[in-house]
Structure 1
Amino acid sequence: MEFGSSLRSRNLPGTLLRSGTDWFVRLLYPPVCAGCGMFVAGSGALCPTCWGSVRFIERPYCEVSGAPFDHDLGAGMVSPDVIANPPPYEKARAAVFYDGAARKLAHGLKYSDRADLAGMMAQWMMRAGRDVLDDSDVILCVPLHRRRMFSRRYNQSAELARAIARLTGKTFEAGGLGRVRATRQQVGLGLRARQDNVRGAFAVPVARNPAIAGRRVLLIDDVLTTGSTVEAATRALLRAGAERVSVLTFARVASPGGETLYA
């Protein structure tokens, strides 16, 4: 018998044991659709109905904000909003529109302790944000204030950032940005109220400045609505010396106010 065949034979009991364990776990906890709970073939999957409701954001879109265009305006085009009010970040990208099963996924991660969804959502984000991922040195997330963190137990944006860092091998600075002032929830607020709500709410801890200064930062959040939160966070990172900041979110609200339907 060849050495390789002998080695495989010795490993066979362990392989069979793992297969048996996997089968038993699947028997006790069969995989279900992450959107509706229907049984599916494998974990981290959607049923055909939920999959059909997901609207992935594809080009053409604004090169800076990532806002989709109704029709192709040509390479490198930016939206009128960006021309009138240039954002502080370099680029923003989002994987999907915040509706259908995608909204259920975001809602489950944020409010229903479904941290297990972060891995699948992170893979969609990586597909949508390959350009900003490749052009970044370090990954950060939009933080929660300590009081909200205590009540919610985990930060959904941190879970997404951690999953993306694990999949890409990039560094995730978990404490690189802090929320130094408690704010109202943004849901239901208009643009001006959102901007006022998060103004001065973020800062880079002095001890973390070396991890930010001179670096190309990728800021992760779950849902982009008006952009007020990521813009305030970006300004704090730039004040701390970041070379530039790009933004990557799981979902994007097609029209302001749409997120209130699932709040």
Structure 2
Amino acid sequence: MLGAALQTAVRVLYPPRCLSCGGMVEQDFGLCGICWRDTPFITGLVCDSCGTPLPGESNTIEHCDACLQIARPWDRGRAALLYQDTGRKLVLALKHGDRHDIADPAALWLARALRPILPDAPLIVPVPLHLIRLLRRRFNQSALLAQALAECLKADCCPDALLRPTRTPSLDGQTREERFATMSGTLIANPKRRAQISGRNVVIVDDVMTSGATMAAAAEACHDAGANTVCIAALARVAKDA
């Protein structure tokens, strides 16, 4: 009785707000009708390697042009959103706005996209940040997503499975070829976690996928540590490179 009264009082003082615009919503960690409409969730036919949406309908496995041209060092992949409109706004709020509250609902969206290809007994692994960037940002948004996703899927998570010993420049403005050259060999398996990766079906998690260069470096590091299979999961996909 007291607990219900306290919960009611909290809702009166702190009513649920839309994750995107801050407007009133019925439940915590939700989107209002307008923001839900403007959030580009990826549905329908997608590339089986990177999750980018494809035109038409098909019951067979399909791949986008980029994944047909580039050898992907992972098995399958999915993304929850397109990196545009409200999707971009939510990713930037999580990444740069200290909006940790976005991680839990984002993980639910990502889990929904990932379930059709989810391997048995997956190990959820985030893309790492370099130590200097981690100290400046104070958190790794991909690790927040990975931990929340693991809870949704009731799966194991290893937040420090991979390391980024090399401080790479920003990939913004680089061509696809430049991105792959920049990221090649920059991620490694944590020596203390190689045994946890070996023989496991790994799912690599990142906030945004553009060319796939970062995911490729992470996948290669997991394979080097003896991963059985590697899938990728991005909260948002930049579709222009598809």
TM-score relative to the length of structure 1: 0.87
For structure 1, which segment, 23-32 or 93-102, has the greater mean C-alpha deviation from structure 2 after superposition? 23-32
For structure 1, which segment, 47-56 or 114-123, has the greater mean C-alpha deviation from structure 2 after superposition? 47-56
1:93 aligns with 2:47: no
1:239 aligns with 2:224: yes
1:25-104 matches, within 5 Å, as 25-104=10-89
Partner of 1:144: 129
Query: Matches of 2:62 and 2:23 in 1, distance apart?
Result: 42
Q: CA deviation at 1:83?
A: 2.7
Question: Percent of pairs identical after alignment?
Answer: 35
RMSD, aligned CA: 1.5
Distance 1:41 1:197, change over 3 A: same
Distance 1:127 1:148, change over 3 A: same
Contact 1:177 1:203 in 2 (8 A): yes
Instruction: Structure 2 unaligned segments of length 5 or more: list them.
Output: none
Query: Matches of 1:78 and 1:135 in 2, distance apart?
Result: 23
Q: CA deviation at 1:102?
A: 1.7
User: Between Structure 1 and Structure 2, how many residues are aligned?
Assistant: 241
Contact 1:62 1:79 in 2 (8 A): yes
- Select the structure of larger CA radius of gyration: 1
Partner of 1:162: 147
Partner of 1:189: 174
Match of 1:204 among 168, 189, 206: 189
Q: CA deviation at 1:202?
A: 0.5
Partner of 1:214: 199
Query: Matches of 1:210 and 1:23 in 2, distance apart?
Result: 48
Q: CA deviation at 1:73?
A: 4.9
Letter in structure 1 aligned against 2:35: C
Match of 1:252 among 226, 230, 237: 237
Letter in structure 2 aligned against 1:53: D
Contact 2:51 2:237 in 1 (8 A): no
Contact 1:61 1:69 in 2 (8 A): yes
Distance 1:166 1:73, change over 3 A: closer
Instruction: Structure 1 unaligned segments of length 5 or more: list them.
Output: 1-15, 257-263
1:108 aligns with 2:93: yes
